[in-house]
Amino acid sequence: MELETFGDLKHKMNNVLGVMIPSGVNGDQVRKLMLEDFGIEIGTSFGPLHGKVWRIGTMGYNARKDCVMQTLSALETVLTYVGYRTPQGAAAQAAWDHYGSHA
């Protein structure tokens, strides 16, 4: 989806992934649509990072392959809806390729 992760991945937490909110995208609107339309909750950041970074859970239920694929597809759909240009299907394909290489 051509999104950037937040921070140094060498020091990332295993339970959450920080994703930079693309310029011009209303992060709170995306979070609301993800929850209302797909039942998927992603977090916001606090303080100076509010509106700049999403927090996406990566442990437990959220780490299941089906949940990862649903989250990526829903996020791509919502980002497209709000006007962010993202290569269609690229995120899901990358995840699928990753899962296939670890089978």
Comparing CA positions, the residue from 98, 78, 77, 100 lying closest to residue 88 is 77
pLDDT of residue 49: 94
Cα distance between residue 99 and residue 103, in whole Å:
6
Identify the DSSP state of 59: S
Q: What is the pLDDT of residues 57-86, one digit of tens each?
A: 989 888 899 999 999 999 999 999 999 999
- Please state whether the predicted TM-score (pTM) of the whole model is above 0.85: yes
Burial of 71 (0-12, 13-18, 19+ CB in 10 A): buried
- CATH homologous superfamily of 9-101: Aspartate Aminotransferase, domain 1 (3.90.1150.10)
